[in-house]
Amino acid sequence: MKIVLLSGGSGKRLWPLSNDIRSKQFLKVVKNGDGEPESMLQRVFRQLGAAGLYADVTVATGATQVEAIRGQLGERVSVVVEPGRRDTFPAIALSAAYLYFGKGCAADETVIVLPVDPYVGDGYFRMLKCMDAAVQDGAADIVLMGVKPTYPSEKYGYIIPEKEGVGPGDVTAESDVRRGGCPDAAGGRILPVAKFKEKPDARTAQELIGRGGLWNCGVFAFKLSYLMDIVRAAVACDCYADVERQYEAFERTSFDYAVVEKARSVAVVPYDGEWKDLGTWNTLTEVMEEKPIGDVAVSGDCVNTHVINELGIPVVVMGAKDMVVAASPDGILVADKVQSSYIKKYVEDRDLRPMYEERSWGEYTVLNLSLDAAGNRTVTKKKLIQAGKKIVETKHERHLEVWTILSGRAVISIKGRKHDALAGDTFTIECKVPHSLAAVEDTVLLEVQIEGAKD
Model confidence over 157-190: pLDDT tens digits?
999 998 643 333 333 333 444 333 454 334 457 8
Is 2-276's fold the same as 361-451's? no
* Sign of the torsion angle spanned by Cα atoms 205, 209, 210, 211: positive
Contact 203, 65 (CB under 8 A): no
- Pairing type for strands 390-394 and 435-439 reads antiparallel
CA dihedral 205, 211, 216, 222 (to 10 degrees): -160
Find out whether 201 and 154 touch, Cβ atoms under 8 Å.
Answer: yes
Task: HSE, CB side, 13 Å, CA atoms: give it for residue 66.
Answer: 10
Q: What is the pLDDT of residue 347?
A: 87
| Closest to 219 in 3D by CA, of 107, 132, 105, 103 | 132
What is d(CA 110, CA 221) in angstroms, rounded to the nearest whole number?
Answer: 7
Nearest to 122 by CA among 48, 204, 71, 187: 48
Q: What is the pLDDT of residue 35?
A: 84
- Which pLDDT belongs to residue 186? 41
Count CA within 13 A, CB hemisphere, residue 450.
14
Question: Which residues make beta-bridge pairs with 214?
Answer: 159
Give residue 396's pLDDT. 93
Number of Cα atoms under 13 Å in the Cβ half of residue 50: 14
Say how far apart CA 426 and CA 252 lie, in whole Å: 48
Strand order in the sheet with 426-429: 356-359, 362-371, 377-385, 443-451, 399-407, 426-429
Q: What is the mean pLDDT of the chain?
A: 89
| CA dist., res. 349 & res. 149, Å (int) | 33
For residue 10, the tally of other CB atoms under 10 A from its CB is 15
Beta bridge partners of 79: 59
- Sequence ranges of the domains in the chain: 2-276, 287-342, 361-451
pLDDT at 9: 75
Nearest C-alpha neighbor of 113 from the set 229, 220, 266: 220
Per the CB < 8 A criterion, the answer to whether 146 and 214 are in contact is yes
**DSSP one-letter string for 167-197:** -GGG---SEE--SS---SGGGGEEEEEEEEE
Virtual torsion, Cα 111, 113, 119, 121, nearest 10 deg: -20
Q: What is residue 319's predicted lDDT score, i.e. its pLDDT?
A: 96
Domain 2-276: CATH class, spelled out: alpha beta
State the CB neighbour count (10 A cutoff) for residue 249.
12
Residue 301 dihedral angles phi and psi, to the nearest 5°: -90, 5
pLDDT for the residue numbered 230: 96
Q: Classify domain 361-451 at the CATH superfamily level.
A: Jelly Rolls (2.60.120.10)
pLDDT tens track, the chain, 455 positions: 999 999 987 668 899 998 878 888 999 888 888 888 899 999 999 999 888 887 789 999 999 899 899 889 888 889 999 998 889 999 999 999 999 999 999 999 999 999 998 899 988 998 999 999 999 999 999 999 999 999 998 888 999 998 643 333 333 333 444 333 454 334 457 899 999 998 899 999 999 999 899 999 999 999 999 999 999 999 999 999 999 999 999 999 999 999 999 999 999 999 999 998 888 899 899 988 888 999 999 999 999 999 999 998 999 999 999 999 999 999 999 999 999 989 988 888 776 788 998 899 999 999 998 988 877 889 999 999 999 999 999 999 989 999 999 999 999 999 999 999 999 999 999 999 999 999 999 999 999 999 875 44
Task: Please compute Rg for the chain using Cα positions.
Answer: 24
Nearest-10 Cα torsion for 199, 204, 210, 214: -10
pLDDT computed for residue 312 by the predictor: 85
How far is C-alpha 53 from the chain's CA centre? Answer: 18
